[in-house]
Amino acid sequence: MARISSSKMREHLKVYFIAGSTNVSDPLPEVLQKAIDGGITIFQYREKGDGALTGEAYVTLGKELKELCNKGGIPFIVNDDVELALALGADGVHIGQEDDNVLDVRQKIGDRILGVSAHTLEEARKALQDGADYLGVGPVFPTSSKNDTREVCGPQFVATLRGQGIDAPIVAIGGISITNAREVVEGKADGLSVISAISQAGDPREAAKQLKEVW
């Protein structure tokens, strides 16, 4: 296996759904299946926050979600847990600046996909140098799905990074909805990453479909 190409990575990033059991009112596998039916292009299992599953329940849910992604033909990414990613045979891992060291994670996961959150030019450069396949940039808008975000950077920050020579695949995150998704696309991101726009939607399938149509 070789590292994923930038062009393939960009295709996968288009509609990037992130969720854990605390982000949904219906069972997450049901919501994920609807999102897959609506056309999401990648999924990240992010089990965080009050009431997050631990132990066997955490692993069992991950296994079920991974199977749905496999059947749906989309990559399954695990947030910030290399051991779980390896145990489940995930397609990749996403880490933040506060998580494990990028070089260490790259070494542990081999050629699997590695995504890294970056909020400045320096963080972006370092993450890519150390082995990231894509960058997560945000929050581009205010979000209520994560408490400890950095300051809102706006969708134009992605274009700023492009102007500074970062041409790696970038997915924008934070407060993205169908009403502002076009601004993100125009800001030169390769993908839209959302939690609530799909997980809290009355119809997750339709929400995913509409986000896909923005492209």
Phi, psi of 194 (to 5 degrees): -135, 145
Residue 71: burial class (beta carbons within 10 Å; 0-12, 13-18, 19+): exposed
- Amino acid 168 reads A
Contact 173, 138 (CB under 8 A): yes
**Measured from the CB atom, is 18 or 28 closer to ligand 3NM?**
18
> Which tokens sit at 189?
């991101």
Annotated binding residue 4: no
188 a catalytic residue = no
146 a catalytic residue = yes
Find all residues with CB under 8 Å of 113, minimum gap 6, and list them.
4, 9, 12, 75, 77, 91, 92, 93, 133, 134
> Which tokens sit at 58?
């955490």
Gyration radius from the chain CA atoms: 16
Catalytic residue among 10, 14, 34, 46: 46
Question: Scanning residues 121 to 140, which ones bind ligand 3NM (CB under 6 A)?
Answer: 136, 138-139
Query: Per-residue contact track with ligand 3NM, 3 to 22, x per CB under 6 A?
Result: ---------------x----
Out of 146, 185, 206, 215, which residue is the one contacting ligand 3NM (CB under 6 A)? Answer: 146
Nearest distance from residue 1's CB to ligand 3NM, in Å? 28
Annotated binding residue 145: yes
- Report the DSSP pairing between strands 15-19 and 42-45: parallel
> Which tokens sit at 69?
């992604």
Choices 53-61, 85-93, 145-153, 206-214; region in contact with ligand 3NM by CB under 6 A:
145-153
Nearest distance from residue 84's CB to ligand 3NM, in Å? 17
Phi, psi of 101 (to 5 degrees): -65, 135
Query: Per-residue contact track with ligand 3NM, 159 to 188, x per CB under 6 A?
Result: --------------xxxx------------
**Measured from the CB atom, is 38 or 175 closer to ligand 3NM?**
175
Residues of this chain that bind ligand 3NM (CB under 6 A): 18, 117, 136, 138-139, 143, 145-146, 149, 173-176, 194-197
